[in-house]
Structure 1
Amino acid sequence: MPRAVCGRLASALRGTRAQPPAVAQRCVHASVSRPSPDQSERTRKPPRAFDPALLEFLVCPLSKKPLRYEASTNELINEELGIAYPIIDGIPNMIPQAARMTRQSKKQEEMEQQ
């Protein structure tokens, strides 16, 4: 948080009955101890991997059918609908608009065969 926002937050907290000074201290500490851009690039963690155990709980938001994890493309695949949901930093993006089509429509397939 910018220092001005932290200062306003600390002032507002002082005006309340509960007066939690620890919150204001954490806010100020967080704004001061941020690493410089050089440090953040060197200490940047690799993207988190998807945990396949989540497949037990995740279903396609459109068909409500189970999904298959494809490690090579880092996507969750719905075979029935032919769509793939991307996984970004270990988190599946289950928004239908973000999914890509994995196969062509039947009409396109028929036209190519002729």
Structure 2
Amino acid sequence: MMDKELMTMLICPVSHSELTFDRERQELKSSVSGLAYPVRDGIPVMLESEARVMSTEEKLGKAAPTS
């Protein structure tokens, strides 16, 4: 669970933009940089080297197509 006060202080270290918390994937996402930072044991890992590159659909806030 991410602390709401902590969320207001965190920004993407690459783009310096706001982050959104994806509860299901336990990630902090930046639609500006297209990176998703993992949250492990409630601790955000704000390292670019640890971030996952989001798909175009994720960056645009759309659901990924299903097969």
**TM-score w.r.t. structure 2 length?**
0.76
**Larger helix share, 1 or 2:** 1
Residue 103 (structure 1) aligned to one of 32, 55, 59: 55
AA matched with 2:39: I
AA aligned to 1:80 is V
Q: State the structure with more CA Rg.
A: 1
Q: Report the identity percentage.
A: 36
Aligned residue in 2 for 1:66: 18
Offset at residue 53 of structure 1 (A): 2.5
RMSD: 1.1
Letter in 1 for 2:41: D
Q: Which runs of 4+ in 1 moved over 3 A?
A: none
Q: What is the SS of the residue equivalent to 1:54?
A: helix
In the alignment, is the contact (CA less than 8 A) between 1:52 and 1:69 conserved in 2?
no
Please show how residues 1-114 of structure 1 align to structure 2 within 5 Å.
49-104=1-56
The alignment of Structure 1 onto Structure 2 pairs a total of residues equal to 56
Q: Which runs of 5+ in 1 are unaligned?
A: 1-48, 105-114
How far apart, CA to CA, are the structure 2 residues paired with 1:89 and 1:66?
21
* Unpaired stretches in structure 2, ≥5 consecutive residues: 57-67
Secondary structure in 2 matching 1:80: coil
Q: Looking at secondary structure, tell me which structure has more strand per residue.
A: 2
